[in-house]
Structures are given as C-alpha cells and as structure tokens.
Structure 1
Amino acid sequence: MAVTDTAPATTAPTRTPTPDPTPGALSTRAKLILFVLCAAQFAIALDFSILNVALPALGSDLGLSQANLQWGVTAFTLPSGGFLLLFGRIADLHGRRRFFLIGLTAFTAASLLATVAWDPASFLVARVLQGLGAAMIVPAGMALLTTTFREGRERDRALGVSGMLMSLGFTMGMLLGGVLTQTFGWRSTMALNVLMGAAVLAGAPGLLTESRPGPGAEGGPAPERQRIDVPGAVTITGGLLALIYALSTAAQAGFGRADVSVSLLAGVLLLTAFAVIESRTGQPLVSLRVLRRRTVAWGNIGGLVTFAMMSSTIFLSTLYLQQVLKLSPGTSGLVFGVTGLAAALGGAVAPRVAGRLGAARTLVAGLLLQAVCTAAMVLIGATGGSWLVVLFCSLGCFGHLWAIVAYGITATSGLADTEQGLATGLVTSTQQVGMTIGIPLLSALAAARIEGLEASGHSFALATLGGVRLGLGVDAAVVLAAALLVALGLRTWRRPTDRRG
C-alpha cells in the first residue's frame, strides 16, 4: 500500500468502464464491479458484529468457557486489523485482483470451517483464517475500487456505496446475529458468510481486471523493482497486533492485568519504531510524505473516530436494550434494523451533499450530527427508553454515513493511482482499527462504572444504566472534539478551491 518518494510517474492502465452519456452515471459493467467489491466489504463488516449475540450459544455448544468467549471475536479482529497494511503492500506489488481473490477464497473456506467447527480450537483457528482473509480482501478491494472509478462524481458515488455498506454490514450483523441464532442456531451466522463469499467468487474473476502497474503499461516504461520494507512490516504488524490484543482483552479483564499492560507498552514502542524506520528507509511501507498531506491525515482521524464511536454506541445500546430493558436478542436486533435503514439513507445522499458542501465540510457536519445524537441518548431511563435508542441512534447513523463517505473522499482525493494503494490502505486500516478499539475502550469504562455502582448498593439494571450513560457521554464528547479538530485541520471555514473542500 505504500509508495516511495522515488516511484516512477507512470500510472496503472486505465480500468475505468466506458461512462454513460450522463455525467457521473455508471455503466452496467461498472455497477457490477461495484456490486462485487462492495458485497465483499459488506461480508467483512458483517463478520465483525454477527457473533456478538451468538457467543453465549456458541460457547455452550462447543464448550468454550465464559472467560474465553471474547476470543470468538478477538481471534478475527487481531489478524484482520494487524495485517492490513502489510497485505495491502503485497497486493500493490503482486496484483490487487489476485490478492483479492486469494483472500476471498481463504475467507469463504475459513467460514465453512467455522460453520462445522467441532471444538473451541477448530473454531478459533477458523476465525483466525477468516481474519487473515479479511486483511487481504479489504485493502485490495478498496484499491481496486478507487483505481477503477475516476476521481470526481463517479468515485464519490462508489465510495458512498462502499462506506454505506461497511457501516450497514456492522449494524445488520447485530440484527442478523440475533435472528439467525434464535431461529437456526449460531452456526447459521457463519454459514451466511459461506454463501456470500461463494456468490462473490462466482462473479469476481470475470469482472475484475488487474490494477497493478506492469511493464509496458500504456506503452510506458516498466516501474523500478520495489521491495517490501521488512523492518517496517514487522514493526507495524507487531504494533497493531499488540495494540488490538490489549484493547480487546481489556474489555473483559480491565487494563490492570499484566498481559494487557505489557501489550499496550509493546504496541506503543513498536509503532514508534515504525515511524522512525519509515522516516529513514528508501522504500517505506507507508510514505510519510503522503501522510503529511492535510487531507490524508485529518480525513483518517475523522474516519477513525466516527467508526470507533458509532460501533461503541451500537454496543452500549445493545447492552441497554438487553440488560436494562430485558429485550430478547431478536427484538434488540430489530431495533438496529431501523438504524440500518437510516444508515442506508445517509449513505445514499452523502455523495450529493459532499458535491455541494465539499467533502471536508460534510465530514465535519456528519461528526457533529453523530455527536449531538449520541449525547441525546444519555437521556435514556430504566423503562421505556427503546424509542430514544431508535430515534437518536438512527439519526446518529445518518450523520455517521455522511462522515464515512466524506472521509473516504477526503483521504483519497488528489492522489495518483500509484498512491491509491497507500491511501486506501490507510482508509481501510482506519475502518478496521476503529471498529476494533472503540468497543473495548468504552465497554471497559462502562464496566468500571457498573462495578462501582453495584458496590454502592444499586441493582444490576440501574448500575448497567449508569455505566451505559457514562459510556455514551464520553462517546459524544470524543466525537464532538474530533469534529472541531477536523474543522480546524482542514480549514473548513475557507472557501473551497474546488467542490471537494
């Protein structure tokens, strides 16, 4: 995903489908390509959340202890977040289409193994393999998307659909996880991934073309031989793995446990070492020159916060619905079906809003709406608060999709095709890391509050309500702070030089 400062000026062959006469309209082939790429992204996002409701039933069936249930999720998030940058770079060098198809095959096969798992070990191995497949699919798929669709209205629409389905996948995972587990059992949640993966594999090979620049592309000179930055790959992968492990484990065990503290320290040290290495190597895994662009840096900061905090909002809302209001998993899932529809609507209109206001202003507006709606959810009470969750979580998801689409446009615009691997790798890393770190941080905060309230004599339901309120309040404050910082960083008060802001 990286591009070196000395990379040749040639770009990959144009893969843009022939446009329709209407400006910004997509041809039938382009729509099919977009469908295939987004379907794969949707399956990955779905897999992040679909097991949350199913874990108790899964643990009972396979004999996975309560203390180890979190590994059903962590075994997937560790490799899917930790290997993103490395696999994205390999895809840049050896072919994005090829790596996308390899990852999709691995993900589908691993989902089949998870469906038929016979004990905890076989299931966790399958989840690790699913995560590795996801780490191949996501950056390669996003790079294929941004190099297939021209920068401008065409790419805005494609990114809008992709961002909408990523968020919708996470939200729908909560709904489908509850309904499928209650109706067919937990194995059906993994079988769904098999069906989706097989469907995408049936269409992808005939639609996708290779996007890696090759010798003689467009009659131009062959690009110079490039190598993987091994020290950078080791430090960034190790750092992300340590950080994700620490945050995921802290959600269950707290930050005081020795392995959590050691992993946090190791993650910080390795990521610091990575930054030093990248500043000195000739062919960096991540070009600091690209990272210094305001749009790339601030766009990804906005994206990280919107993903981390909205996934946390959904988690805390689930906690409230099931442990305070005592709703069933299926009924709780239906609540998020409504928010999913709001997310779909937000994603549909976001490209048009970005076209009018500029991507930077749309990003800030989306973050502000998300912050205000999350703050309003603090008003939930011990009874009858489900309508508040439906209303404000839905409006928050609407703003969330504005932020997702706008940050994707902001962080990838104005870059050559040779830099799209890095830019989209950062975008997808932001998405995955955001969905990974938000829930552990705020759930640990809420858990500490719940424990304190129970110790002071509150009932479990009222203590949980207090913990959820605290988590939502911090969530809203973080998003609001991010909105203000992004507005300052991208100078949104200035008149944009072009429609993107």
Structure 2
Amino acid sequence: MRRSPWATLTVLALAQFIVVLDVTIVNVALPHIQTDLGFAPESLQWVISAYTLLFGGFLLLGGRAADLLGPRRVFIAGLVLFGAASLVAGLADSPGFLIGARAVQGLGGALLSPAALAILTVTFAHGRERNIALGVWGGLAGLGGTLGVVAGGLLVDSLSWRWVFFVNVPIVIGLVAILPRYVQDIRHGLDGARTFDAAGALLGTAGLLSVVFGVVRAEPSGWGSLEVLSFLIGGVALLVAFVAVEARSAAPLVPLRLFRSRALGVSSAALALNGAAFLSMFFLTAIYLQQVRGDSALEAGLHFLPMGATAIFGAVLASQLVHRLGTRTVQLAGATIGLVGLLLLGQAGADGSYTSELLPGLLLFGFGIVSLSVPAQIVAVSDVANHEAGAASGVVNAFFQVGGALGLGIVTTLSTTRVGDALAEGASQQQALVEGFHRGLLVAAAFAVANVLLTLASPQLRPDAARVSEVAAVA
C-alpha cells in the first residue's frame, strides 16, 4: 500500500505533540490536584518529576528497542502505554496512585518518542524534504508545550483536573486505529551481538529517583537523617553501578567514549541546568499565580502564553544567528537573558500588576531559555561520528529531562522550607507563599548563573543553515 509521507508525519507529530503537552498541561492543574488528593507541599513536585525522570531515564532504551524490534512496533507499544497510564492518572484517588501513573506515562513517552523520530527519518529522504518534516515535527512539539498551559486551564475550569489526563485517551485510540494505514512497518537487520542494556536503564533511573527522593525528604526529615542519607548514598551507589555497567557493556545505552568530547559534556551540563531552571520556574509560577494572586487555572495558562510566544521567536532567531555570530555567542546571550528574566520574576509581589511585575520576566525567560538550548544542541553533536549522532542527541535530551527533575527537587525543597519558616515567624499564608516563591526563583537563578559560566567553556562554532535546521529540529 502506498502511503503519503505527509500523512505519516501528521500521525507521528500528533503523538509527539501529546507527549510534550503532558509536561506543561499538568502544571496549571497542580493546585487543584493538591487540594483534591491531599498532596503534601513537598510531595507535589513528584507529579512532574515522576514523568520527566522516567521519560529521561528510559529515552535511550526506547531508541535501542526501536532499533531492535522495529520502530512501528515500539511506537504502538509506547502509545498504548501512554494512553492507558493517562486513563489511570485521571482516575487516581490518592497521591501515590497518581505519581505511579505519571511514571508509567513517562515510560510510554520514552518508548514512542524515539521510535517516532526513527520512522520519520526513514520516511523522508535526506535533504530538503527531511528538513521540512523535521521542522514541522519540532514546531508542533514546541507548540504542544506552549498550548499545554492554556488547554490545561480550559479543562480544569470547565471540567476538572482529571481531564488534563483523560484528554489523551481519545487521541491515542484514534492514532492507534489509523496507524497501520499511514505508518509503514520498518524492520532492521539485527546484529546478534546487540542487546537492550535494560540493566543500565534500570540502574540509572533508579539511582536518579533515589537521589531526588532523598533531596525531597530532606525538608521534613533533615539532611542528616538516616532516611535521607540512605536514599542519597544508595542513589549514588546505583549511579556508580550504572557507569560500571555502561563501561563493560558491548552495546551500552550511553557510550561513555562520547564524553571524551568536551562539546558534548559541556552541552549536556548546560541543558541539564536549563531543564532545572525551566521546570522550577514553571512549577513555582503556576502555583504562585493561583494560590497567591488568585488566578483561575485558565487565567494562569493565559498568563504563561506570552512566554511561549517569545520562546518560539527565540528558537527561530537563534537558528538564524548561530551561523553568523557563532554558537557560544548566541548561547551566552540566551543564558544571560534567561537569568535576567528569573531575577525580574523574583521581584514580583502578591498584589502588583501582571504587566509590570510578571510579564517582563516571563518574556525574557521564554526567549532566553530557547536561545540557549538551540546552540547547545548543535554543539553537542558537532564532533561525534555520524553513526553516533543519534546516541548523542538522545543523551542531551535525557540530560535536559533528568536535570529538570533534579533541579525541581532541590528548588521545591528549599522553597517549601522557606514557606514553613515564614509561617513559624508569624507571616500570613499569602506572604509565606510569596517568600517561598522568591526563594525558589533565587535557586533557579543560581542554576542560570552556573549556565552563564559554563557557556564560556563551550566551543565557538558557525554551522551552515542546513545543519542548524536538521539538528535543532531533532533535538
């Protein structure tokens, strides 16, 4: 059967759209989820972190599974898992139930996302058509993040928070139904020596989960408590075991030789810090807008919308400037602008004007975070072999997700501690939340400062326009 490649692209891009959508659509529902299910303040961040940690932790395993089993098969499996977990998340009646469902959602996304990209690259021949397809793919994924906050607000205000999860179910059913008609079944010749390296994925993800849990528990239990030390030490031990497994594996998920590249190492760290600042800002501001300023979920979503617009503009502009000014120059400008945005947001009070106190910071942060990520993604794959470019791209994407989860754990712990201290000192609930918001954004700004310094060590490249469009879209 002859299939239209553009119909295939539509199916793949829509699946990727809902995966990205689920990172942001949930943020505006957090205050309602917290009230309805009785989340403790320090535990609420797991609604976001469970998804991003499992997504980042198993992203490379998803790519390996697509290579070995065939990308369409893995794509369908990930899509079904994502849809089923969305249904379960919408039916959740306890914090643990919801967090577990979000983790499975992340695993589903980690399977379908690299499989979809593998199908796309086979469907379109190298050159102009593939670059257009990758541009559409990247653009729709970015649009999913931008529209997620508005869609989440509409669903929460008109129905309930449960519909930010239920909305995925009919989309997944429709995609699974039409997928055999529009997506070809691609089978690769398999090398018997290759393996899944499931042990590496499990050790790495379990280690990261343990470290994040230890950080989050530090607020109620204390950094020196047996519970916190056990999780932190256990997490580090698991991560050391992960490195040992990868070093000995015949087909590692993360080829450690890639990190001999200074460009990849610096870029991975920069994107991890970028993820930490982004998820932290989004989480804190979504709660601040609703619990401090009294926004409805829809109003909060609309207040985020200008940030999404400047992010799209920043991506386009950065892609045009990197081959004129160089990657390090553009990345440094993006890191600095994002830092200024966070510092401005950190000055917002409980009753000030949105236009004067919040909008400038949101606009600058949205522009800056993407202006940093575009050149960092290009640099990351600049000096790895062509046959390892996919692995390098997977590594930097995983670093962004995992860095976001780790950073969010640190920020929420310190923010929650400040809220508790302020209440103990006699502050009102509203003022305590404002002080917690300021503390959290100050920590996020510290991540941004580290990124400014790290960017100084990044190589200065001037890639051609074709290389920019291909790498930026894939990453």
TM-score range for the pair, normalised by the shorter chain length: 0.7 to 0.9
Deviations 1:366-405 (A, max 9, x none): 2222112212223323321422322221221122122233
8 Å Cα contact 2:89-2:97 kept in structure 1: yes
Query: What is the deviation of 1:180?
Result: 0.9
Q: Which runs of 5+ in 1 are unaligned?
A: 1-27, 216-222
The residue number in structure 2 matching 1:181 is: 156
Between the aligned partners of 2:112 and 2:296, the Cα distance in structure 1 is: 34
Measured at CA, do residues 359 and 417 of structure 1 come closer, stay the same or move farther in structure 2, by a change above 3 Å? same
The residue number in structure 2 matching 1:440 is: 409
1:130 aligns to 2:93 (yes or no): no
8 Å Cα contact 2:58-2:110 kept in structure 1: yes
Deviations 1:73-112 (A, max 9, x none): 4554453333333333323332333312220122123323
The residue number in structure 2 matching 1:476 is: 445
The residue number in structure 2 matching 1:373 is: 341
Measured at CA, do residues 86 and 482 of structure 1 come closer, stay the same or move farther in structure 2, by a change above 3 Å? same
Q: What pairs up with 1:319-398 in 2 under 5 angstroms?
A: 319-387=287-355, 388-398=357-367
Measured at CA, do residues 342 and 30 of structure 1 come closer, stay the same or move farther in structure 2, by a change above 3 Å? farther
The residue number in structure 1 matching 2:189 is: 214
8 Å Cα contact 1:232-1:285 kept in structure 2: yes
1:287 aligns to 2:258 (yes or no): no
Measured at CA, do residues 312 and 287 of structure 1 come closer, stay the same or move farther in structure 2, by a change above 3 Å? same
> Secondary structure at 1:489's aligned position in 2?
coil
Between the aligned partners of 2:415 and 2:235, the Cα distance in structure 1 is: 24
1:403 aligns to 2:378 (yes or no): no
8 Å Cα contact 1:142-1:424 kept in structure 2: no
Query: What is the deviation of 1:249?
Result: 5.5
> Secondary structure at 1:54's aligned position in 2?
helix
> Secondary structure at 2:358's aligned position in 1?
helix
> Secondary structure at 1:286's aligned position in 2?
coil
TM-score (norm 1): 0.79
The residue number in structure 1 matching 2:239 is: 271
8 Å Cα contact 1:143-1:420 kept in structure 2: no
The residue number in structure 2 matching 1:107 is: 82
8 Å Cα contact 1:157-1:351 kept in structure 2: no
Query: What is the deviation of 1:410?
Result: 2.6
Give the aligned residue type for 1:486: T
Between the aligned partners of 1:420 and 1:144, the Cα distance in structure 2 is: 16
Between the aligned partners of 2:317 and 2:171, the Cα distance in structure 1 is: 26
Q: What pairs up with 1:186-205 in 2 under 5 angstroms?
A: 186-201=161-176, 204-205=179-180
* Residues 141-150 or 92-101, more deviating: 141-150
Query: What is the deviation of 1:336?
Result: 0.9
Query: What is the deviation of 1:424?
Result: 2.8
Between the aligned partners of 2:330 and 2:437, the Cα distance in structure 1 is: 29
The count of residues paired between Structure 1 and Structure 2 equals 463
The residue number in structure 2 matching 1:139 is: 114
Query: What is the deviation of 1:133?
Result: 0.7
> Secondary structure at 1:450's aligned position in 2?
helix
Query: What is the deviation of 1:340?
Result: 2.0
Between the aligned partners of 1:194 and 1:417, the Cα distance in structure 2 is: 38
8 Å Cα contact 1:77-1:244 kept in structure 2: no
Measured at CA, do residues 455 and 124 of structure 1 come closer, stay the same or move farther in structure 2, by a change above 3 Å? closer
The residue number in structure 2 matching 1:305 is: 273
Between the aligned partners of 2:308 and 2:249, the Cα distance in structure 1 is: 44
1:460 aligns to 2:429 (yes or no): yes
1:242 aligns to 2:217 (yes or no): no
1:485 aligns to 2:460 (yes or no): no
Measured at CA, do residues 468 and 152 of structure 1 come closer, stay the same or move farther in structure 2, by a change above 3 Å? farther
* Residues 172-181 or 199-208, more deviating: 199-208
Query: What is the deviation of 1:497?
Result: 7.6
Between the aligned partners of 2:352 and 2:169, the Cα distance in structure 1 is: 38
Query: What is the deviation of 1:36?
Result: 3.9
8 Å Cα contact 1:321-1:386 kept in structure 2: no
Measured at CA, do residues 119 and 469 of structure 1 come closer, stay the same or move farther in structure 2, by a change above 3 Å? closer
Give the aligned residue type for 1:305: L
> Secondary structure at 2:167's aligned position in 1?
helix
Between the aligned partners of 2:338 and 2:386, the Cα distance in structure 1 is: 32
TM-score (norm 2): 0.82
Give the aligned residue type for 1:434: G
8 Å Cα contact 1:115-1:191 kept in structure 2: yes
1:41 aligns to 2:10 (yes or no): no
8 Å Cα contact 1:163-1:401 kept in structure 2: no
Between the aligned partners of 1:339 and 1:488, the Cα distance in structure 2 is: 28
Measured at CA, do residues 55 and 369 of structure 1 come closer, stay the same or move farther in structure 2, by a change above 3 Å? closer
Measured at CA, do residues 229 and 126 of structure 1 come closer, stay the same or move farther in structure 2, by a change above 3 Å? closer
> Secondary structure at 1:379's aligned position in 2?
coil
Q: What pairs up with 1:25-40 in 2 under 5 angstroms?
A: 34-40=9-15
Between the aligned partners of 2:431 and 2:94, the Cα distance in structure 1 is: 37
8 Å Cα contact 2:71-2:185 kept in structure 1: yes
* Residues 191-200 or 295-304, more deviating: 191-200
Measured at CA, do residues 249 and 348 of structure 1 come closer, stay the same or move farther in structure 2, by a change above 3 Å? farther
Measured at CA, do residues 392 and 155 of structure 1 come closer, stay the same or move farther in structure 2, by a change above 3 Å? farther
* Residues 32-41 or 469-478, more deviating: 32-41
8 Å Cα contact 1:347-1:401 kept in structure 2: yes
Between the aligned partners of 2:9 and 2:452, the Cα distance in structure 1 is: 30
8 Å Cα contact 2:55-2:107 kept in structure 1: yes
Work out which of the residue numbers 86, 93, 96 in structure 1 matches 2:71. Answer: 96
8 Å Cα contact 1:165-1:344 kept in structure 2: no
Q: Which runs of 5+ in 2 are unaligned?
A: 469-475
CA RMSD after TM alignment: 3.6
Give the aligned residue type for 2:14: A
